[in-house]
Amino acid sequence: MTKQIKFGVKKEQKVAQALRSRGAKVTRSVGSRGAADLKTKFPSGTKWNIQVKATRSGVTARPSSKDLGRLKQSARRSGATPIIARVSPRGIEYESASGRKLTPPKRKK
């Protein structure tokens, strides 16, 4: 496994852990070969298909238009919202594929 792939996997795990702490069930795409790196379902029933983008410097890349199209299509098929999770040294930011900033639902008490 290359250094770059290890870095990406580590960031996917970081996002998955952050979402699990909010009560979500998270599954990771095997080998990250699917349109979404993570598929998440919150206790409220909300579903997110997530593409994780990470950076060491602070400016994350946008998914290619092809990857974004695949993410939207897979989300539509599964009734989920297509999400880009941007991981930087500042933390994790979530946005819909259309660019709207989102916050994961809070854990139910």
Q: What is the CATH number of the domain that holds 83?
A: 3.40.1350.10
Write the single-letter amino acid at 41.
K
Write the single-letter amino acid at 59.
V
Q: Considering the domain boundaries, does residue 39 fall inside one?
A: yes
Say what the pLDDT of residue 32 is: 56
Q: Considering the domain boundaries, does residue 19 fall inside one?
A: yes
Say what the pLDDT of residue 5 is: 75
Parent domain of 82: 3-102
How, if at all, do strands 91-96 and 101-102 pair?
Answer: antiparallel
Q: Considering the domain boundaries, does residue 108 fall inside one?
A: no
Give 10-residue mean pLDDT values along the chain (109 residues). 81 95 92 82 95 84 89 95 93 93 81
Q: Considering the domain boundaries, does residue 98 fall inside one?
A: yes
For the record, the structure tokens of 22 come out as 């909010």
Helix (H) or strand (E) holding 24: none
Whether 52 contacts 12, CB under 8 Å:
yes
Say what the pLDDT of residue 107 is: 73
Say what the pLDDT of residue 109 is: 58
Q: Considering the domain boundaries, does residue 66 fall inside one?
A: yes
Helix (H, G, I), strand (E, B) or coil at 10: helix
pTM: 0.89
Q: Considering the domain boundaries, does residue 52 fall inside one?
A: yes
Q: Considering the domain boundaries, does residue 64 fall inside one?
A: yes
Q: Considering the domain boundaries, does residue 109 fall inside one?
A: no
- Give the number of domains in the chain: 1
